[in-house]
Amino acid sequence: GAVVSQHPSWVICKSGTSVKIECRSLDFQATTMFWYRQFPKQSLMLMATSNEGSKATYEQGVEKDKFLINHASLTLSTLTVTSAHPEDSSFYICSARDVSSPGTDTQYFGPGTRLTVL
Amino acid sequence: AQTVTQSQPEMSVQEAETVTLSCTYDTSENNYYLFWYKQPPSRQMILVIRQEAYKQQNATENRFSVNFQKAAKSFSLKISDSQLGDTAMYFCAFIHQNTDKLIFGTGTRLQVFP
């Protein structure tokens, strides 16, 4: 149980275009999902917290107009990188909390999406 | 500020041997949770083990166990009978009971040699 999927697993796009990444909780409901960014050989950096039915909460330094987050249902959150530039190239990982399980604090992670902006 | 420190950037161990990864954290809170996550070359983050701060008993999951020292704010991970598949980046993480944010350490890269 507690499986989180991400789509796509990798994407290459041209500079100036927008890219949408989906994060789904497959076998549980997640009122809260999280989006992280990971640079090579570094730890995970929290970008934003996605709450179902309300606006996302962004971490300091993360541009909310550039990284649009929509959490429209209890099993789906999307991250849209708008007007992508080469510096947005990175590995993006989502996670979700299973609120029905005894350990509601545990986050389960998706497999990640590698974004390359040319 | 709450921080998590992993002082060992890299570790290596021979197959079937035991290795311990260190983690210390800093918090003024009393109720929190600690985690070890594994990130193999596939980059999928996998939960290894979880510990509630209010529990004195150390968590164990098969070959993985922790040494939780609350007063010392230490949370080390012991891997027994190391296997080649244990080769990965290991992240220690902390979350306070009343917040959503996981705070990660910088990670320890573990290499298991045959």
Residues with Cβ < 8 Å from A92, sequence gap 6 or more?
A21, A35, A36, A37, A38, A79, A112, A113, A114, A115
Out of A32, A46, A93, the one facing B45 most closely (by C-beta) is A93
A94 pLDDT tier (thresholds 50, 70, 90):
very high
Structural tokens at position A39? 């640079």
Cβ pair A77, A70 in contact under 8 A: yes
Q: Return d(Cα A50, Cα A72) in angstroms, integer.
A: 10
The answer to whether A44 contacts B101, with C-beta atoms less than 8 Å apart, is: no
Percentage of the residues of chain A whose pLDDT score is greater than 90: 74
* Distance linking the first and last C-alpha atoms of chain B: 41
Model confidence at A104, pLDDT cuts 50, 70, 90, reads low
Q: Residue B100: list chain A partners with CB under 8 A.
A: 32, 34, 49, 97
A45, closest residue in chain B (CA to CA) = B104
Pick from A99, A85, A89: which is nearest to A25 by CA?
Answer: A99
Contacts of A49 in chain B (CB under 8 A): 100-101
Question: Is residue B15's pLDDT more than 90?
Answer: yes
A107 and B102 within 8 Å at the Cβ level: the answer is yes
Residues of chain B with C-beta less than 8 angstroms from the C-beta of A108: 47
At residue B26, the 3 state secondary structure works out as: strand
Q: Determine how many CB atoms are found less than 10 A away from the CB of residue B6.
A: 19
Q: How do residues B84-102 score in pLDDT, each as one tens digit?
A: 999 999 999 998 777 778 9
Tell whether B28 is within 8 A of chain A (Cβ). no
pLDDT, mean over chain A = 91
Q: Which residue of A has its CA nearest to B89?
A: A41
The C-alpha atoms of residue B29 and residue A104 are separated, in whole angstroms, by: 18
Confidence band, pLDDT 50/70/90 cuts, at residue A103: low
What are the tens digits of pLDDT across the range A25-72? Answer: 998 888 889 999 999 889 999 999 998 888 899 999 999 999 999 988
Whether A111 sits inside 8 A of B43 (CB atoms) is yes
Return the closest-CA partner of residue A69 out of A22, A101, A117. Answer: A22
Distance CA A99, CA B100 (A): 12
**Contacting residues for B50 by C-beta, under 8 A, at least 6 apart:** A103, A106, B33, B34, B35, B59
Sequence-distant (6+) residues with CB within 8 A of B101 are A46, A49, B95
